Protein backbone atom coordinates (compact mmCIF):
# COMPACT_ATOMS: atom_id res chain seq x y z
CA UNK A 1 0.00 0.00 0.00
CA UNK A 2 1.50 3.39 -0.97
CA UNK A 3 2.35 5.80 1.83
CA UNK A 4 0.57 8.67 0.06
CA UNK A 5 -2.76 8.17 -1.70
CA UNK A 6 -4.36 10.95 -3.70
CA UNK A 7 -8.09 10.58 -4.27
CA UNK A 8 -8.80 10.15 -7.98
CA UNK A 9 -12.55 10.52 -7.44
CA UNK A 10 -12.56 13.78 -5.43
CA UNK A 11 -15.95 15.50 -5.88
CA UNK A 12 -16.56 17.92 -2.96
CA UNK A 13 -19.77 19.11 -4.57
CA UNK A 14 -21.24 15.62 -4.06
CA UNK A 15 -20.53 15.46 -0.32
CA UNK A 16 -23.53 15.68 2.00
CA UNK A 17 -23.76 18.85 4.06
CA UNK A 18 -22.87 18.40 7.73
CA UNK A 19 -25.63 18.56 10.32
CA UNK A 20 -25.46 21.43 12.81
CA UNK A 21 -28.11 19.91 15.10
CA UNK A 22 -25.60 18.27 17.44
CA UNK A 23 -23.81 21.52 18.28
CA UNK A 24 -26.94 23.03 19.83
CA UNK A 25 -27.31 19.88 21.94
CA UNK A 26 -23.67 19.72 22.99
CA UNK A 27 -23.50 23.22 24.45
CA UNK A 28 -26.29 22.28 26.89
CA UNK A 29 -24.34 19.37 28.38
CA UNK A 30 -23.20 20.17 31.95
CA UNK A 31 -19.52 21.05 32.01
CA UNK A 32 -19.40 21.93 28.32
CA UNK A 33 -16.42 23.97 27.12
CA UNK A 34 -14.41 24.26 23.94
CA UNK A 35 -11.13 22.40 23.61
CA UNK A 36 -8.08 24.55 22.82
CA UNK A 37 -6.13 25.06 19.61
CA UNK A 38 -2.35 25.07 20.13
CA UNK A 39 -0.04 26.95 17.76
CA UNK A 40 3.00 24.91 16.66
CA UNK A 41 5.04 27.83 15.33
CA UNK A 42 8.33 25.96 15.38
CA UNK A 43 6.89 23.14 13.28
CA UNK A 44 5.41 25.63 10.81
CA UNK A 45 8.75 27.42 10.40
CA UNK A 46 10.64 24.17 9.96
CA UNK A 47 8.24 22.86 7.31
CA UNK A 48 7.91 26.13 5.41
CA UNK A 49 4.24 26.73 6.22
CA UNK A 50 2.50 29.90 7.32
CA UNK A 51 0.97 28.12 10.28
CA UNK A 52 0.49 24.74 11.94
CA UNK A 53 -2.12 24.42 14.70
CA UNK A 54 -3.17 21.48 16.86
CA UNK A 55 -6.77 20.98 17.99
CA UNK A 56 -6.19 19.38 21.39
CA UNK A 57 -8.90 16.84 22.32
CA UNK A 58 -7.10 15.51 25.41
CA UNK A 59 -9.91 16.76 27.66
CA UNK A 60 -13.39 16.77 26.11
CA UNK A 61 -16.20 16.74 28.66
CA UNK A 62 -13.93 15.12 31.22
CA UNK A 63 -12.74 12.33 28.89
CA UNK A 64 -9.32 12.13 27.20
CA UNK A 65 -10.67 11.89 23.64
CA UNK A 66 -13.12 13.44 21.20
CA UNK A 67 -15.36 10.37 20.95
CA UNK A 68 -17.92 11.66 23.45
CA UNK A 69 -19.11 14.16 20.81
CA UNK A 70 -20.39 11.37 18.59
CA UNK A 71 -21.54 9.11 21.40
CA UNK A 72 -23.56 11.76 23.24
CA UNK A 73 -25.43 12.88 20.13
CA UNK A 74 -26.07 9.33 18.94
CA UNK A 75 -27.48 8.39 22.36
CA UNK A 76 -29.70 11.47 22.37
CA UNK A 77 -31.09 10.64 18.93
CA UNK A 78 -31.47 6.94 19.74
CA UNK A 79 -33.39 7.58 22.95
CA UNK A 80 -35.79 9.85 21.12
CA UNK A 81 -36.70 6.90 18.90
CA UNK A 82 -36.41 4.14 21.51
CA UNK A 83 -37.18 5.70 24.92
CA UNK A 84 -37.62 2.27 26.52
CA UNK A 85 -33.91 1.46 26.06
CA UNK A 86 -32.33 0.07 29.24
CA UNK A 87 -28.81 -0.86 28.14
CA UNK A 88 -26.36 0.57 25.61
CA UNK A 89 -24.04 -1.81 23.80
CA UNK A 90 -20.94 -0.98 21.77
CA UNK A 91 -17.72 -2.38 20.36
CA UNK A 92 -14.53 -0.43 20.86
CA UNK A 93 -10.75 -0.44 20.97
CA UNK A 94 -11.07 1.91 23.93
CA UNK A 95 -12.15 5.52 23.39
CA UNK A 96 -15.59 4.99 21.82
CA UNK A 97 -16.47 2.39 24.44
CA UNK A 98 -15.47 4.66 27.29
CA UNK A 99 -17.48 7.51 25.77
CA UNK A 100 -20.59 5.33 25.40
CA UNK A 101 -20.18 4.07 28.98
CA UNK A 102 -19.79 7.65 30.23
CA UNK A 103 -22.92 8.82 28.43
CA UNK A 104 -24.86 5.75 29.59
CA UNK A 105 -24.05 6.63 33.21
CA UNK A 106 -25.16 10.23 32.59
CA UNK A 107 -28.48 8.98 31.21
CA UNK A 108 -29.04 6.37 33.94
CA UNK A 109 -28.59 3.40 31.60
CA UNK A 110 -26.67 0.15 31.87
CA UNK A 111 -23.83 -0.43 29.43
CA UNK A 112 -21.92 -3.37 27.93
CA UNK A 113 -18.76 -2.83 25.90
CA UNK A 114 -17.05 -5.45 23.72
CA UNK A 115 -13.30 -4.96 23.19
CA UNK A 116 -10.78 -7.02 21.20
CA UNK A 117 -8.26 -9.02 23.21
CA UNK A 118 -5.38 -6.73 22.21
CA UNK A 119 -7.03 -3.67 23.76
CA UNK A 120 -4.65 -2.14 26.32
CA UNK A 121 -5.26 -2.95 29.98
CA UNK A 122 -5.52 0.74 30.94
CA UNK A 123 -8.19 1.32 28.29
CA UNK A 124 -10.16 -1.69 29.54
CA UNK A 125 -9.94 -0.42 33.12
CA UNK A 126 -11.11 3.04 32.05
CA UNK A 127 -14.24 1.55 30.45
CA UNK A 128 -15.02 -0.41 33.60
CA UNK A 129 -14.34 2.71 35.62
CA UNK A 130 -17.27 4.37 33.87
CA UNK A 131 -19.51 1.60 35.24
CA UNK A 132 -19.79 -0.55 32.12
CA UNK A 133 -19.72 -4.33 31.85
CA UNK A 134 -16.62 -5.24 29.85
CA UNK A 135 -16.56 -8.21 27.48
CA UNK A 136 -13.12 -9.12 26.12
CA UNK A 137 -13.41 -10.78 22.72
CA UNK A 138 -10.88 -13.39 21.62
CA UNK A 139 -10.54 -11.83 18.21
CA UNK A 140 -10.24 -8.59 16.23
CA UNK A 141 -12.12 -5.32 16.49
CA UNK A 142 -14.38 -6.52 13.68
CA UNK A 143 -15.33 -9.59 15.74
CA UNK A 144 -16.16 -7.32 18.68
CA UNK A 145 -18.41 -5.29 16.36
CA UNK A 146 -20.26 -8.46 15.30
CA UNK A 147 -20.88 -9.56 18.86
CA UNK A 148 -21.98 -6.08 19.95
CA UNK A 149 -24.45 -5.94 17.07
CA UNK A 150 -25.94 -9.26 18.17
CA UNK A 151 -26.20 -8.07 21.78
CA UNK A 152 -27.87 -4.86 20.62
CA UNK A 153 -30.74 -6.90 19.21
CA UNK A 154 -31.72 -8.15 22.68
CA UNK A 155 -34.91 -6.70 24.26
CA UNK A 156 -34.26 -3.30 25.84
CA UNK A 157 -30.77 -3.07 24.34
CA UNK A 158 -29.45 -0.61 21.78
CA UNK A 159 -26.19 -0.92 19.82
CA UNK A 160 -24.32 2.39 19.66
CA UNK A 161 -21.96 1.70 16.75
CA UNK A 162 -19.57 4.14 15.14
CA UNK A 163 -19.24 1.71 12.25
CA UNK A 164 -21.86 0.20 9.95
CA UNK A 165 -24.91 1.70 8.29
CA UNK A 166 -27.27 1.98 11.25
CA UNK A 167 -28.89 5.16 12.47
CA UNK A 168 -26.38 5.51 15.33
CA UNK A 169 -23.44 5.16 12.93
CA UNK A 170 -24.76 8.13 10.96
CA UNK A 171 -25.55 10.12 14.12
CA UNK A 172 -22.02 9.60 15.42
CA UNK A 173 -20.69 11.32 12.28
CA UNK A 174 -23.16 14.16 12.79
CA UNK A 175 -21.96 14.55 16.38
CA UNK A 176 -18.35 14.96 15.30
CA UNK A 177 -19.18 18.03 13.20
CA UNK A 178 -19.27 20.12 16.38
CA UNK A 179 -15.48 19.83 16.62
CA UNK A 180 -14.86 21.26 13.16
CA UNK A 181 -17.33 24.11 13.51
CA UNK A 182 -15.66 24.95 16.82
CA UNK A 183 -12.14 24.79 15.35
CA UNK A 184 -13.08 27.02 12.44
CA UNK A 185 -14.09 29.76 14.88
CA UNK A 186 -10.81 29.37 16.77
CA UNK A 187 -8.20 29.31 14.01
CA UNK A 188 -7.76 29.97 10.33
CA UNK A 189 -6.55 27.03 8.23
CA UNK A 190 -6.49 25.84 4.65
CA UNK A 191 -6.14 22.09 5.19
CA UNK A 192 -7.03 19.51 7.81
CA UNK A 193 -5.13 16.35 8.78
CA UNK A 194 -7.26 13.96 10.81
CA UNK A 195 -6.95 10.35 12.07
CA UNK A 196 -9.13 7.92 10.13
CA UNK A 197 -9.83 4.47 11.67
CA UNK A 198 -13.13 3.23 10.23
CA UNK A 199 -13.61 6.67 8.74
CA UNK A 200 -16.45 8.16 10.79
CA UNK A 201 -14.41 11.08 12.09
CA UNK A 202 -12.71 11.59 8.72
CA UNK A 203 -16.17 11.61 7.10
CA UNK A 204 -17.24 14.45 9.39
CA UNK A 205 -14.04 16.27 8.44
CA UNK A 206 -14.74 15.68 4.74
CA UNK A 207 -18.23 17.12 5.09
CA UNK A 208 -16.88 20.20 6.82
CA UNK A 209 -14.07 20.53 4.27
CA UNK A 210 -16.45 20.30 1.32
CA UNK A 211 -18.70 22.97 2.82
CA UNK A 212 -15.85 25.33 3.74
CA UNK A 213 -13.55 24.71 0.79
CA UNK A 214 -10.76 23.09 2.84
CA UNK A 215 -8.55 20.18 1.84
CA UNK A 216 -8.92 17.13 4.10
CA UNK A 217 -6.30 14.39 4.44
CA UNK A 218 -6.94 11.24 6.48
CA UNK A 219 -4.08 9.68 8.46
CA UNK A 220 -3.82 5.91 9.04
CA UNK A 221 -1.39 3.33 10.43
CA UNK A 222 0.62 1.53 7.78
CA UNK A 223 -0.72 -1.73 9.24
CA UNK A 224 -4.39 -0.72 9.04
CA UNK A 225 -4.72 1.59 6.05
CA UNK A 226 -8.24 0.64 5.00
CA UNK A 227 -9.31 4.13 3.87
CA UNK A 228 -6.36 4.62 1.52
CA UNK A 229 -6.79 1.13 0.10
CA UNK A 230 -10.48 1.79 -0.51
CA UNK A 231 -9.84 5.14 -2.22
CA UNK A 232 -7.25 3.50 -4.46
CA UNK A 233 -9.66 0.67 -5.35
CA UNK A 234 -12.66 2.94 -5.83
CA UNK A 235 -14.77 0.94 -3.37
CA UNK A 236 -14.44 -0.36 0.20
CA UNK A 237 -11.88 -3.14 0.63
CA UNK A 238 -10.80 -5.18 3.65
CA UNK A 239 -7.13 -5.03 4.67
CA UNK A 240 -5.15 -7.24 6.99
CA UNK A 241 -4.51 -5.78 10.44
CA UNK A 242 -1.55 -7.45 12.17
CA UNK A 243 -1.79 -4.89 14.96
CA UNK A 244 -0.70 -1.32 15.64
CA UNK A 245 -0.11 0.71 18.79
CA UNK A 246 -2.50 3.30 17.26
CA UNK A 247 -5.34 1.22 18.70
CA UNK A 248 -8.14 3.60 17.77
CA UNK A 249 -7.21 3.14 14.11
CA UNK A 250 -6.63 -0.64 14.19
CA UNK A 251 -9.45 -1.19 11.70
CA UNK A 252 -9.68 -3.52 8.70
CA UNK A 253 -12.55 -1.90 6.82
CA UNK A 254 -14.31 1.40 6.25
CA UNK A 255 -17.70 2.13 7.79
CA UNK A 256 -20.51 2.09 5.19
CA UNK A 257 -22.00 5.20 6.79
CA UNK A 258 -18.73 7.06 6.25
CA UNK A 259 -17.74 5.78 2.81
CA UNK A 260 -19.72 8.16 0.54
CA UNK A 261 -18.25 11.23 2.26
CA UNK A 262 -14.75 9.74 2.24
CA UNK A 263 -15.00 8.77 -1.44
CA UNK A 264 -16.17 12.19 -2.56
CA UNK A 265 -14.58 14.50 0.00
CA UNK A 266 -11.11 13.32 1.01
CA UNK A 267 -8.16 14.88 -0.81
CA UNK A 268 -6.13 11.79 0.07
CA UNK A 269 -4.55 9.72 2.82
CA UNK A 270 -1.15 9.30 4.48
CA UNK A 271 0.00 6.11 6.20
CA UNK A 272 2.41 6.41 9.15
CA UNK A 273 4.29 3.79 11.14
CA UNK A 274 4.09 3.13 14.86
CA UNK A 275 7.64 4.47 15.23
CA UNK A 276 6.68 7.72 13.52
CA UNK A 277 3.66 8.10 15.81
CA UNK A 278 5.91 7.58 18.84
CA UNK A 279 8.35 10.22 17.58
CA UNK A 280 5.46 12.65 17.20
CA UNK A 281 4.23 11.84 20.72
CA UNK A 282 7.68 12.64 22.06
CA UNK A 283 7.87 15.86 20.07
CA UNK A 284 4.53 17.03 21.42
CA UNK A 285 5.49 16.02 24.94
CA UNK A 286 8.58 18.19 24.58
CA UNK A 287 6.27 21.10 23.76
CA UNK A 288 4.22 20.39 26.87
CA UNK A 289 1.30 18.55 25.24
CA UNK A 290 0.39 15.02 26.40
CA UNK A 291 -1.06 13.44 23.27
CA UNK A 292 -1.58 9.73 22.58
CA UNK A 293 -0.66 7.62 19.56
CA UNK A 294 -3.66 8.35 17.33
CA UNK A 295 -3.67 12.02 18.26
CA UNK A 296 0.02 12.42 17.40
CA UNK A 297 -0.25 10.61 14.05
CA UNK A 298 -1.32 13.73 12.07
CA UNK A 299 1.91 15.50 13.08
CA UNK A 300 3.93 12.51 11.86
CA UNK A 301 1.93 12.54 8.63
CA UNK A 302 2.46 16.26 8.05
CA UNK A 303 6.22 15.86 8.44
CA UNK A 304 6.23 13.05 5.88
CA UNK A 305 4.01 14.99 3.49
CA UNK A 306 6.16 18.12 3.57
CA UNK A 307 9.57 16.45 3.40
CA UNK A 308 9.29 13.35 1.20
CA UNK A 309 9.43 13.65 -2.60
CA UNK A 310 6.68 11.02 -2.98
CA UNK A 311 4.31 13.40 -1.18
CA UNK A 312 4.52 16.05 -3.90
CA UNK A 313 1.29 15.12 -5.74
CA UNK A 314 -0.74 15.09 -2.53
CA UNK A 315 0.93 18.31 -1.34
CA UNK A 316 -0.12 19.99 -4.57
CA UNK A 317 -3.66 18.59 -4.41
CA UNK A 318 -4.03 19.93 -0.86
CA UNK A 319 -2.51 23.29 -1.76
CA UNK A 320 0.34 22.82 0.70
CA UNK A 321 3.15 23.54 -1.74
CA UNK A 322 2.87 27.25 -1.00
CA UNK A 323 4.44 29.04 1.96
CA UNK A 324 1.21 30.86 2.82
CA UNK A 325 -0.64 27.63 3.63
CA UNK A 326 -1.98 26.93 7.12
CA UNK A 327 -2.68 23.45 8.48
CA UNK A 328 -4.83 22.22 11.35
CA UNK A 329 -3.91 18.88 12.92
CA UNK A 330 -6.57 17.21 15.04
CA UNK A 331 -5.11 15.47 18.08
CA UNK A 332 -8.04 13.19 18.79
CA UNK A 333 -6.81 11.79 22.10
CA UNK A 334 -4.68 12.54 25.10
CA UNK A 335 -3.16 9.82 27.25
CA UNK A 336 -5.67 6.96 27.04
CA UNK A 337 -3.06 4.27 27.76
CA UNK A 338 -0.91 5.67 30.60
CA UNK A 339 1.38 2.65 30.79
CA UNK A 340 2.02 2.64 27.05
CA UNK A 341 2.55 6.40 27.01
CA UNK A 342 4.99 6.34 29.91
CA UNK A 343 6.99 3.58 28.24
CA UNK A 344 7.80 5.69 25.20
CA UNK A 345 7.69 9.34 26.31
Mean pLDDT of the chain: 95
Q: What is the mean pLDDT of residues 313-342?
A: 94
Q: Is the pLDDT of residue 310 over 70?
A: yes
Among candidates 240, 229, 214, 179, which has minimal Cα distance to 325? 214
Q: Is the pLDDT of residue 76 over 80?
A: yes
Could you read off the pLDDT of 282-307 as tens digits, one per residue? 999 999 999 999 999 999 999 999 99
Q: Is the pLDDT of residue 104 over 80?
A: yes
What's the start-to-end Cα distance of the chain, in Å?
A: 29
Q: What is the mean pLDDT of residues 307-323?
A: 93
Say how far apart CA 170 and CA 330 lie, in whole Å: 21
Give residue 152's pLDDT band: very low, low, confident or very high (50, 70, 90). very high
Q: What is the pLDDT of residue 1?
A: 60
Percent of all residues in the chain with a pLDDT value above 70, rounded to a whole number: 100
**Other C-beta atoms within 10 Å of 206: how many?**
33
Could you read off the pLDDT of 222-252 as tens digits, one per residue? 999 999 999 999 999 999 999 999 999 999 9
Walk me through the domains of the chain, giving residue ranges and CATH numbers. 4-65+169-344 (3.40.50.1100), 68-165 (3.40.50.1100)
What's the pTM? 0.95
Among candidates 138, 136, 75, 137, which has minimal Cα distance to 101? 75
Q: What is the pLDDT of residue 7?
A: 97
Percent of all residues in the chain with a pLDDT value above 90, rounded to a whole number: 94
Q: What is the pLDDT of residue 27?
A: 96
Say how far apart CA 176 and CA 20 lie, in whole Å: 10
Q: Is the pLDDT of residue 177 over 90?
A: yes
Lowest mean pLDDT among 76-80, 116-120, 128-132, 208-212: 116-120
Say how far apart CA 87 and CA 157 lie, in whole Å: 5
Amino acid sequence: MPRFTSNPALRPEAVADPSADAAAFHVRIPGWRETPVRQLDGVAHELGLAGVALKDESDRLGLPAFKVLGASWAVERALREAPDTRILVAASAGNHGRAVAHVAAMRGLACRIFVPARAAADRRAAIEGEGAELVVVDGTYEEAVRLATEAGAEPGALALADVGDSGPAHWVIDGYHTLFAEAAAQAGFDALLVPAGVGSFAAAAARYGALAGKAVIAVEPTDAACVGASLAAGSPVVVETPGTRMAGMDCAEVSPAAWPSLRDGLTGTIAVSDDEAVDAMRELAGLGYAIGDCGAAPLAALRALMTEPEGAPLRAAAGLDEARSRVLLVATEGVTDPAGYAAVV
